[in-house]
Amino acid sequence: MPRVIGFELNSQEPEKTADFYSNVFGWEVADPQWDYWSVTTGNNGVPGINGGIARGPNDFPHGTRIQIEVDSIDDAIMKAKNNGAVIVRDKMEFDHFYLAYLIDPVGLSFGLIQQKSDSV
């Protein structure tokens, strides 16, 4: 069953956002890669999820979206579309994963992530 594995806070001022969450909650914010700052919210042995802060793109300049890990991003995109979702950003390839952004039928934005296998 696909699970929420992270969150993404989108901001037009990601540095200010990173400072806020670091100062208020003590979250550890990594140096940026691709206008994305990885965020650690606590110890791995404690329930909770980590995420990131991103410079919000034009199609999602600010807000929060969850990231759902799936076994097959292509199947998940097709199933989501067949159930009324709109693709905002189709499957994108990164070094270790694939990522897509969609909007569900009521307007909530979410991400889909598929980890690449070690054999790729």
Block mean pLDDT (10 aa), the chain, length 120: 94 95 96 93 90 89 93 98 96 95 94 82
pLDDT of residue 119: 47
Of the candidate CATH numbers 3.10.180.10, 3.40.50.970, 3.40.50.80, 3.20.20.60, the domain formed by 6-58 belongs to 3.10.180.10
Q: CATH 3.10.180.10 occupies which residues in the chain?
A: 6-58, 70-120
Torsion, Cα of 19, 28, 61, 110 (10° steps): -160
pLDDT of residue 34: 84
Nearest-angstrom CA–CA distance, 7 and 75: 22
- According to the model, what pLDDT value does residue 31 have? 95
What is the C-alpha separation between 60 and 67, in angstroms, rounded? 14
Q: Is 47 helix (H, G, I), strand (E, B) or coil?
A: coil
**113 DSSP β-pair partners:** 69, 99
Per-residue model confidence (pLDDT) at position 46? 87
What does the pLDDT read at residue 118?
Answer: 67
Q: Record the pTM.
A: 0.86
